[in-house]
A and B are shown apart, each in its own frame.
Chain A
Amino acid sequence: MRRKVMSYRLRIWVLASAAFVALFTAMPGNGQTSPKTTSQIPRMPDGKPNFTGLWQTLGTAHWDIRDHSTQPGPFFQLGATGAMPAGQGIVEGGEIPYTPAAAAKQKENLQNRMKLDPEIKCYMPGIPRANYMPFPFQIIQSQRDIAFVYEYATSNRVVNMGTFREAAVDTWMGTSNGHWEGDTLVVDVSGLNGNSWFDRSGNFQTDNTHVVERFTLGDADHISYEASIEDKTIYTRPWKIGTVIYRHKEKNAQLNEFKCVEFAEELIYGHLKKK
């Protein structure tokens, strides 16, 4: 009987020690956060978080990054399918700090959305808009650079993880330079050409806009996404957006093609066609 008790105690010690060892060995070297989080996220051989996968943001930020109520859509023919669903915004504090002139421009954009929204014309969406459109995107993370490939409009960017590279020219998707801050991938986006919007509600940027994105894996299947946006020409102070990006878990889920040029041709060139 006594022997049995001893062996029971010993077993507890063994289990406890094993747990301690497991915890200890799971803790990575370079000042990362709680062991619980770090043990759950996929990692590269060098210990950096591995973002490779098919991702998509849920919600209605693509309609309006600010808080918004349900509204009718522009075409009655689409009925319920064309309406704009309500959604809580992704702008920290709720407001975009536009200058008065920029606030007026946003309203004008919204009023002329069918003519002006680059998404309608199948133009590349820019950053950050590409990350929360209602389409998946694929991240391929190598030991060097990280490719972001978006389904919408065949758009993409390769994040340079090497020495910082100045934007050589302004582009739709900007120039992305990345670095690690602990387990967070920080991407500095400059060289945006200023033609992109943030959403379908005319919220806009200029060629002075500077975006700094932060990607953090909360667990294996969720990225906490944050972007700070700065542009003294249209905003009175820097501001932030934040949302969650979800991993596609369906079997064999893959990025498919959404080459939308042909869907925008009638709209763009219709008036030039032979009658």
Chain B
Amino acid sequence: MKCRILILVFCLAALIGSAAGQTKTAALRPPSTPDIQGIWNFATITPLERPADLAGKEFFTEQEAAQHEKEVLARTNMDRRDGGAQADLERAYNDFWWDRGTKIVKTLRTSLIVDPRNGRIPPLTAGAKERQAERQAANRGHEFDGPENRPLFERCLILQGAGAPTTPTAYNNNTQIVQTPGFVAIHNEMGHEVRIIPLDGRPHLPQTMRQWKGDSRGHWESDTLIVETTNFSVKNSFRGSGPDMTLTERFRRLDADTLEYRFTVDDPETFTQPWTVEIPLTRAPGPLFEYACHEGNYGMRGVLSGARAQEKDAVEAKRPSK
């Protein structure tokens, strides 16, 4: 009997001890990482590069910004009918279908490029110019031969702005971040692309393995998520970049509804200096929609059959009439 009471006392003591231990463990846990989760919108009418007429001007005043927004929206309005049939055709979809945003970035910058200070992509190296010229020459005269001659976005392989890095474009400017200890997933609505970023310090893939969106590794540096991406495929290129580009992205919460996104392109074989872009992302209600580009790619069929029809017409036209 005495023995049983002793056991009970021992068990209770052990339980209390274990509860105390748990509290201690919780206290010893590293401070929680910043929360960058949610759906973010990065639509903006601020261009990547500073337009020539704004050379030397890094920031707008509030007044100038409002005026600029008005001008841009009027100029890009696809519902205008003041240009004749050809302009109507080129304006393609009605304004309803475009979702470029209506505002310039919150920072009032005149370009998304913040470094170099002129807001322009640095000049290409001689090697990169040569590479670009060769690629263009190889496709010249064959632009409509087959799908492999068409741009990647028409083929639904890598869509505009889908990354890596992520940049604003005509629509689908939404991204969803899902975060857990050890991993961050960045889901871009454009092209239903997800990048999975391990945070466990593992090495990059071997150099022989190349991917369209590269191979990303991340870590936290105080309040900032830093993602380094390498191992790009030669088939994909960001503004002329080569497969050995190192892309460094930084995500930092500025306030409840703003996530600052910065990335640096470092590719000495292509650009004469590294360059950096800054885009403030704004919290959005969502949800993201599935962008099934390839599954509904009637555009490719249209482009290729149009080209074949034109060739046929040209042959017919050369035939002597009866």
CB pair A269–B202 under 8 Å, yes or no, is no
Interface check A145, CB cutoff 8 A: yes
A168-B289, A269-B146 known; A156+B14 contact, CB < 8 A: no
Contact among B10, B147, B180 for A13, CB-based, below 8 A? B10
Q: Is the CB of B15 within 8 A of A21?
A: yes
* A272 x B308 contact (CB < 8 A): yes
Docked-complex contact B180 and A272, CB < 8 angstroms: no
What chain B residues lie within 8 Å of A256 (beta carbons)?
A: 205, 209, 211
Of B63-71, B101-109, B293-301, which binds chain A? Answer: B293-301
Please give the distance in Å from A51's CB to the nearest CB on chain B.
10
Q: Which residues of B contact A155 (CB under 8 A)?
A: 192
- A104 close to B (CB within 8 Å): no
The yes or no answer to B193 lying at the interface (CB within 8 A) is: yes
Complex-state Cα separation, A130 to B7, whole angstroms = 54
- Within 8 Å of chain A (Cβ to Cβ): is B250? no
Cβ-defined contact, B307 with A124, below 8 A? no
Bits for B186-208, please: 1 = Cβ < 8 Å to A, else 0: 01000111101010001101000
Question: How far apart sit A164 and B187, CA to CA, in the bound complex (Å)?
Answer: 21
Quick check: which of A106-114, A134-142, A211-219 contacts chain B, the rest being far away?
Answer: A134-142
Quick check: B311 and A274 within 8 Å, CB to CB?
yes
Tell me the minimal C-beta distance from A124 to chain B in angstroms.
6
Q: Cβ of A118: which chain B residues have Cβ within 8 Å of it? A: 295
Q: Determine whether the beta carbon of B18 is less than 8 Å from that of A21.
A: yes
- B3 to chain A: which residues have CB within 8 Å? 13
Q: Is B262 an interface residue (CB 8 A)?
A: no
Chain B 1-36 near chain A by CB (<8 Å), digits 1 or 0: 001001100110011001000000000000000000
Mask, A162-173, CB within 8 Å of B = 1, is 000100110111
* A123 CB within 8 Å of chain B: yes
Name the distance in Å between B293's Cβ and chain A's nearest Cβ: 9
- Please report which residues of chain B, range 278-301, place their CB below 8 angstroms from some CB of chain A when the two chains form the complex: 287-290, 292, 294-295, 300-301
Contact (Cβ within 8 A) A262 B301:
no
Q: Say yes or no: B203 contacts A252, CB within 8 Å.
A: yes
Q: Does A83 contact B (CB under 8 A)?
A: no
A25/B15 contact (C-beta < 8 A), A149-B194, A254-B198 known? yes
Residue of B nearest to A175 (CB): B287
B192 touches A17 (CB 8 A): no
Min CB distance, A238 to chain B, in Å? 26
Known: A14-B10, A141-B180, A171-B292. A269 touches B196 (CB 8 A): no
Q: Which residue of chain A has the shortest Cβ distance to B293 in the bound complex?
A: A261
Which residue on B lies nearest to A262, using beta carbons?
B157
* Nearest Cβ on chain A to B225's Cβ, whole angstroms: 14
List the A side residues contacting B294 at CB < 8 Å.
122-123, 261
Chain A interface residue number, banded:
35 or more
Interface string of A1-32 (1 = CB under 8 A from B): 00000000000011001101100110000000
Instruction: Digitize B93-125: 1 where CB-to-A-CB distance is under 8 Å, 0 elsewhere.
Output: 000000000000000000000000000000000
C-alpha spacing A121/B237, complex, angstroms: 25
| Interface core residue of B3, B180, B212 (most chain A CB under 10 Å) | B180
Knowing A269-B300, A274-B145 touch, does A261 contact B157 (C-beta < 8 A)?
Answer: yes
A46 within 8 A of B: no
Confirm or deny: A273 has a beta carbon within 8 angstroms of a beta carbon on chain B. Answer: yes
- Is A20 a contact of B11 with CB atoms below 8 Å? yes
The yes or no answer to B183 lying at the interface (CB within 8 A) is yes
Show 16 A/B contacts (Cβ-Cβ < 8 Å), sorted by A: A13-B3, A21-B14, A21-B15, A25-B18, A52-B183, A140-B185, A149-B196, A156-B187, A158-B187, A171-B289, A172-B295, A252-B203, A256-B211, A262-B155, A269-B301, A269-B304
Q: Which residues of B contact A (CB under 8 A)?
A: 3, 6-7, 10-11, 14-15, 18, 37, 142, 144-148, 155-157, 176, 178-180, 182-185, 187, 191-194, 196, 198, 202-203, 205, 209, 211-213, 287-290, 292, 294-295, 300-301, 304-305, 307-308, 311
A13-B6, A265-B147 given. 16 additional CB < 8 A pairs? A17-B11, A21-B14, A138-B185, A138-B196, A142-B37, A147-B185, A147-B187, A172-B295, A262-B157, A265-B155, A273-B304, A274-B142, A274-B144, A274-B145, A274-B146, A274-B311
8 closest A-B pairs by beta carbon, nearest first, are A272-B304, A273-B146, A171-B290, A274-B145, A147-B178, A21-B14, A265-B147, A140-B185
